[in-house]
């Protein structure tokens, strides 16, 4: 497949940060709280009057993400609850009408520009708040909306919002989600994608619909699993296209801030995911769910800092590489003639590897011998991932 310069940039970037933040964060029970707890709009809407986020500092977020080695950020401009984290002209249900009263997307875009990170905007096509999101789909039955909205009017609304996001914030791309709520509905994808590319010709469009990519999409998304695996709650297609690939992953088991969720993956596990997604020729989009005050919980901030330390030492095996293979105990990436063998599991110190004779040297301080495509490790290093470079 012939890739565009934007797609090549994306494939070289390899690592991004996903941010789920909105008025749902106030309830500290994840981004599905409105649906899961059957909260009607009349009870949910007043949350916006409590959204102060007094410690919201986009510059600090972006400095942390840059320090983590991320090359881009994907932010939830609107999630399923319909609340807009930007200054939309098409609704009053937005962050500029809260005690915080600031254009979060605008400020984040500026901070990203200052630090040289690119910004993608996540946009939920599913909307539990809009009166015209009708007939209802698999979710949102408890919002207490009047029956009988006008679907065409909802399409106009959501495509209109994506247009204003494209014109006013010029993101590097869009990350759509929620179509799976009404899988057989007409979402006017062709018009949507054409509109975006007419305003931003180089924009990268991805859609988390869990199906084979549609024409007009520029990268393929996998959720909570490696490409080709079915993965999380909503099953991914196992079809892997030729498009650039991205795997999105939670650090614990929640996208939005959830103070009950202490299932934080270890740094070692997160690095293993980074190495395996790279071996699968995919990017990793690692999620944070800031707290209602706008800060990022320390369990997640410290893990990002550790990943950054690792990437400053071994980033050559990740950035600007393409995936070769993922095996049980190791992954392989390559850049031009150079290959990187990254051992993710140290169970066996004898590994059959796809190299016969090679100028192999290690980036990590392990002791090894290679003979006849068999690697004998006599002493492991203390590094979580062993890296051998083949030139």
List the beta bridge partners of residue 339: 334, 390
Cα-based angle 57, 16, 334 (whole degrees, multiple of 5): 150
The answer to whether the CB of 27 falls within 8 A of the CB of 131 is no
Least spacing, CB of residue 125 vs ligand FHN, in Å: 11
Closer to ligand FHN by Cβ: residue 223 or 261: 223
Q: Rule CB under 6 A: is residue 247 a binding residue for ligand FHN? A: no
Does position 223 interact with ligand FHN (CB under 6 A)? The reply is yes
Question: Minimal distance in Å, beta carbon 178 to ligand FHN?
Answer: 7
Nearer to ligand FHN, 21 or 314 (CB): 21
Is the CB of residue 280 less than 8 Å from the CB of residue 245? yes
Inter-CA distances, 377 with 47, 123, 163, 292, Å: 57, 48, 56, 48
Nearer Cβ to ligand FHN, position 187 or 255?
Answer: 255
Kindly tell me which of 243 and 351 has the beta carbon lying closer to ligand FHN. 243
Determine, following the binding rule CB under 6 A, whether residue 181 of this chain makes contact with ligand FHN: no
Answer yes or no whether residue 159 interacts with ligand FHN by CB under 6 A: no
Q: Is 177 in the site for ligand FHN (CB under 6 A)?
A: yes
What tokens were used for 192? 């949507």
| 34/271 with CB nearer ligand FHN | 34
Report the nearest approach of ligand FHN to the CB of residue 373 (Å).
39
Contact 20, 300 (CB under 8 A): no
Interactions with ligand FHN, residue window 313-342 (CB under 6 A):
none
Q: Which of residues 258-277 bind ligand FHN (CB under 6 A)?
A: none
Interaction of residue 23 with ligand FHN, rule CB under 6 A? no
Ramachandran angles phi, psi of 287, nearest 5°? -95, 145
Structural contact between residues 365 and 381, judged by C-beta atoms closer than 8 angstroms: yes
- To ligand FHN, the closest distance from the beta carbon of 353 in angstroms equals 34
Q: How far apart are CA 303 and CA 325, in angstroms?
A: 26
What minimum distance in Å lies between the beta carbon of 366 and ligand FHN? 36
Binding mask 96-125 for ligand FHN (x = CB under 6 A): ------------------------------
Do 244 and 10 touch, CB atoms closer than 8 A?
yes
Of the pair 75, 314, the CB lying nearest ligand FHN is at: 75
Dihedral, 380, 381, 386, 391 alpha carbons, nearest 10: -90
Q: Any contact of residue 246 with ligand FHN (CB under 6 A)?
A: no
Residue selected from 136, 159, 234, 360 as contacting ligand FHN according to rule CB under 6 A: 234
User: The tokens of 199 are what?
Assistant: 């305003």
Which of 303, 300, 304, 292 is CA-nearest to residue 21? 292
Q: Label each residue of 194-221 as H, E or C.
A: HHHHHHCCCCEEEECCCCCCCCCCCCEE
Query: If binding is defined by CB under 6 A, does position 73 make contact with ligand FHN?
Result: no
We find the least distance from the C-beta atom of residue 238 to ligand FHN, in angstroms, to be 16
Query: Residues 162, 248, 274, 304: which binds ligand FHN (CB under 6 A)?
Result: 248
Contact status, residue 327 vs residue 333, Cβ threshold 8 Å? no
Contacts with ligand FHN by CB under 6 A lie at 31-32, 177, 208, 223, 234, 248, 255
């Amino acid at each position: 497949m012939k890739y565009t310069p934007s797609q090549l940039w994306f494939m070289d970037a390899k690592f991004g940060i996903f941010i789920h933040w909105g008025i749902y964060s106030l309830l500290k029970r994840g981004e599905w709280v409105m649906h899961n707890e059957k909260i009607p709009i009349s009870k949910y809407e007043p949350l916006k009057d409590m959204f102060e986020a007094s410690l919201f500092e986009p510059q600090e977020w972006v400095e942390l993400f840059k320090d983590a080695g991320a090359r881009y950020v994907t932010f939830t401009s609107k999630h399923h609850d319909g609340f807009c984290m930007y200054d939309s002209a098409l609704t009053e249900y937005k962050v500029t009408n809260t005690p915080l009263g600031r254009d979060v997307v605008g400020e984040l875009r500026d901070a990203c520009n200052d630090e040289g990170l690119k910004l993608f905007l996540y946009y939920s096509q599913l909307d539990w708040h809009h009166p015209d999101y009708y007939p209802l789909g698999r979710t949102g039955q408890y919002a207490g909306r009047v029956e009988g909205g006008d679907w065409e009017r909802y399409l106009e609304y959501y495509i209109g919002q994506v247009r204003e996001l494209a014109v006013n914030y010029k993101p590097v791309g869009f990350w759509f989600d929620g179509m799976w709520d009404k899988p057989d509905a007409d979402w006017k994808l062709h018009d949507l994608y054409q509109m975006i590319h007419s305003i931003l010709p180089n924009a990268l469009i991805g859609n988390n619909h869990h199906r084979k990519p549609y024409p007009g999409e520029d990268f393929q998304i996998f959720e909570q699993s490696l490409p080709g695996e079915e993965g999380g709650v909503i099953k991914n297609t196992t079809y892997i296209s030729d498009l650039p690939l991205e795997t999105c992953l939670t650090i614990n088991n929640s996208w939005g801030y959830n103070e009950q969720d202490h299932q934080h993956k270890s740094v070692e596990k997160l690095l293993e995911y980074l190495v395996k997604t790279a071996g699968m020729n995919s990017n990793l989009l690692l999620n944070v769910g800031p707290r209602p005050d706008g800060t990022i919980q320390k369990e997640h901030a410290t893990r990002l800092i550790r990943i950054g330390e690792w990437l400053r030492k071994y980033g050559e095996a990740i950035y600007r590489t393409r995936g070769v293979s993922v095996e049980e105990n190791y992954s392989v990436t390559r850049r031009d003639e150079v290959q990187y063998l990254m051992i993710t599991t140290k169970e066996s110190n004898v590994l059959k590897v796809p190299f016969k004779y090679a100028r192999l040297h290690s980036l990590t301080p392990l002791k090894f011998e290679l003979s006849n495509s068999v690697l004998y490790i006599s002493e492991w290093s203390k590094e979580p991932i062993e890296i051998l470079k083949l030139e």
